[in-house]
Structure 1
């Protein structure tokens, strides 16, 4: 889950002074990160999104490639990186990692995508695997990154038990980063000798992801290697836009995790093939700090600070970077040494509940407003959003998605205009049978790895348009929610006597119920008949001449 190039360009250069944390300003009415939290729960068989949002399925594991000889799309979808094909937002490439347990089940799939502004749907015009034979294949492709120059970096997280150098080039075969041109599906050739290369100088480790700073030289990467060897690395390329050569550093805090606020970058040898192949033991010997499962690093587009996750404790850290040191190191969100089971209040529109943060902080994605999406691999596998004004003392945490049974949400990126979010659901339970309908009218069962595009209704599919100019009523409560009864009660407060229309929309944005009434000044209690509605998620919209109020509800 990485920055799009647009977001990367907005990030401050490594080494510049960090700005103050941003306030939780009101987002534009149609911004993708504006929503009311979903109700926390264990994983259902479907995908639970805010009532204002919808999804479209792009591909599932087992789908046929465009060329029959290539077989079918592999399983275990992970990093899902979107790269635009031109200056607009209507076509692009979606790169999907396959976190297989062998070279045969690992790899990358590239989708050619196009958006139809009439139907408001994405079309997949081609599905192709990347051929890694020229670099002896890839292994356990986990996360990755989108570079500012619109290439994809796929990261090998694990290696076979017995390491080999099958092509005798001096480098062990697996455990590296690999850069791909999504338009040609070719691995980069850095020295012009006609032979593609892996990114040797970035080190051999249990790679999770990379993020490239706006200077096009500074790269942050992490290793998910247990409690002893999970280090944070910085690579500084010799030439901007070329990741083949440069210096490698590991972070060493000036004290214990939880108390240290400063640290030092220690250089890790990477001049020879032997040094490059032994990054982890070298960093350990140099005293680098292990963070117990470093999963993702990202750069805040608002403050320029570096954020990263530690999966083991369930913590997201951040720090301010400089060429040789770091400062302002601390916990941004999640568990801490003195509170290993933190929970946060989640207001889902009709009530507020405390939801456990859990462990398994995994992928991170920023939008341009500084909202941080945290995807969870552990706990209840939620997709969280942490607002830029969040502090541990004054939390601003929301719940964007409850994910399908058995799956891990993986690899989120945005389109440059931030109207569309691309994300995968890795390995949901094969026993799931519930069919839901997506924005394209497709019947979707989440029983295979699935790559999706998510957006607001009205932007994706023929759905409810957002009324940008109108504010909500001061108070509007819907209960019981969920409801198994024949009526839904709506209590609301109006500032004047005025006519109102109540409309109910299904998940496709189709209007399934409408009634009119006249509101009196002050408190009103209305009844909405729901006995004929099928079980599922709905959106109630209350419109007056001056307001438009949206509330989600569930019919059981």
Structure 2
């Protein structure tokens, strides 16, 4: 089926899509629901599938791309070319060509690692071409383990983060450092690990510490780095690393944050220096930080820097909370303005936000599991959820705890966790992955390239507004395809929502049949071109599985649902 995008008609509202805009952050929210088998994004947007797990690498000897896609980092290639007015030319510069680094959060060295894709934007087709798929060789650093999130540096390398380690720590090469639990820097052009000490052998970033790494973010000074540990309720610390030399992460000073009081009331804190001079110290970062009295935040998942205010934001997955603070800089040892920015709080552990999805409003619980964070240049904050309903949220730059400005960008496919994400420099394209959707998903979507996509394995995507992605194929697919979504599913109330994206005005009937095919309900409707949001009365139905059949003169579409 065609991509099922947004709920209802786009209507005028403060943050709704602006006519002619190609800024990906301009949209009307989708209607909240449980995960369906398909991806639901705003009606103004579309997606292109770039790669799925099991796809062969360009070099046959490397095998196939592994499962468990996580951090999805786009690294632009700068050509240095410009037009006769001194402006970067789209077809020659960083918005049109780059590398896509995809982490594999496996549970062994064999299933962990990083894939590096070469991408080119085809201006004529308005589609991304994957010109090469390479596996990063971690053999020289004894492999990697559980590559979770990561970061793209200002000097256009990728840092992949090892979140977990095997039960029995080892030092298999005898260099004094335990094998796993580190940050690792990759040159995307050569898809290889960097050599930091010039001895001809790649190295992991020992001085940044051995912890349950989630991600890193590098400040514009190219020296200050923030990182966090997803280590439960007792060892989930926030760290700052200040490198000795800009653009070089091999050597530097490591700090851990200690608040001046309890979480929720403390507004200031102090950076405490963590010893990191010897292999033994670097290998025992967590124990050393805990001994210093560092504050644990119960599952630190991601830290990012607001490009407008320069404050530091981070998530705590356990309580479902986003915090922010002001740092005193690479030479400073204090933080101020520490506060809860969004999500659940100690006094309101069930925070809900009002979502305007165009044809109505609904209160949606925030829930726990806020995971990856991504800022755009205007200070809008995307939040990807690993838990709850696995949504992709957008918190507008105007948001405050007292005056919320929260929207819903995506309802992701059944069974998956959304991971990534990064934006292209012009902020027209979003690169994101769907990690491990249910293998039982069977519904077919048609992407901007006309490819049939089933979300039943890890999938890396690029999402954009329809004006800039797949324009050449849009007419063809819109004429041929019908998309249907039913929600909530299972349904326990008196009505079920039915959303039908149809290519033309046409009369239709909605039939409900039971498991043996008996007709139990029928309703006539008039479909308009585009998105149709309808309701179906189901209060009289008994608790069991049914099939909704939507028939027109030219199409028949079936969707299963459960009445509770």
| Residue in 2 that maps onto 1:340 | 349
| Residue in 2 that maps onto 1:321 | 327
Choose 79-88 or 328-337, whichever is displaced more: 79-88
| Residue in 1 that maps onto 2:62 | 70
1:230-259: per-residue Cα shift (whole Å, max 9, x none)?
000000000000000000000000000000
Q: Please state whether the residue corresponding to 2:499 is helix, strand or coil.
A: coil
| Residue in 2 that maps onto 1:137 | 143
| Residue in 1 that maps onto 2:311 | 305
Cα drift, residue 190 of structure 1: 1.2
Match of 1:114 among 117, 120, 132: 120
Distance 2:556 2:99 in 1: 36
Cα drift, residue 314 of structure 1: 0.3
Match of 1:51 among 25, 28, 43: 43
Distance 2:316 2:556 in 1: 39
| Residue in 2 that maps onto 1:482 | 499
Match of 1:419 among 418, 428, 443: 428
| Residue in 1 that maps onto 2:376 | 367
Match of 1:330 among 329, 333, 339: 339
1:364-409: per-residue Cα shift (whole Å, max 9, x none)?
0001111100000000000000001112221110000000000000
Match of 2:463 among 454, 460, 463: 454
Distance 1:150 1:211 in 2: 12
Cα drift, residue 24 of structure 1: 7.8
| Residue in 2 that maps onto 1:275 | 281
Segments of structure 1 that go 5 or more residues without pairing to the other structure are 1-22, 466-478, 490-501, 507-529, 537-556
1:293 aligns with 2:299: yes
Give the 3 Å change call, closer, same or farther, for CA 347–505 of structure 1 in structure 2. Answer: closer
Match of 2:358 among 345, 349, 353: 349
1:36 aligns with 2:28: yes
Match of 1:150 among 143, 156, 180: 156
Cα drift, residue 481 of structure 1: 6.2
The root-mean-square deviation of aligned C-alpha atoms, in Å, is 2.1
| Residue in 2 that maps onto 1:256 | 262
Map 1:462-481 to 2 at 5 A.
462=471
Segments of structure 2 that go 5 or more residues without pairing to the other structure are 1-13, 80-92, 476-495, 501-509, 511-522, 533-550, 558-564
Distance 1:480 1:486 in 2: 15
Cα drift, residue 118 of structure 1: 0.6
Give the 3 Å change call, closer, same or farther, for CA 158–82 of structure 1 in structure 2. Answer: same
Distance 2:365 2:552 in 1: 34
1:439 aligns with 2:448: yes
Distance 1:43 1:325 in 2: 42
Cα drift, residue 149 of structure 1: 0.3
Give the 3 Å change call, closer, same or farther, for CA 133–340 of structure 1 in structure 2. Answer: same
Distance 1:482 1:457 in 2: 20
1:19-40: per-residue Cα shift (whole Å, max 9, x none)?
xxxx989978321001000010
Q: Give the TM-score taking structure 1 as reference length.
A: 0.81
Q: Give the TM-score taking structure 2 as reference length.
A: 0.80
Distance 1:531 1:392 in 2: 47
Distance 1:181 1:59 in 2: 21
1:481-517: per-residue Cα shift (whole Å, max 9, x none)?
636565459xxxxxxxxxxxx85389xxxxxxxxxxx
Distance 1:215 1:351 in 2: 45
Match of 1:265 among 265, 271, 296: 271
Choose 135-144 or 85-94, whichever is displaced more: 85-94
Q: Is the CA contact 1:480–1:488 (under 8 Å) kept in the aligned structure 2?
A: no
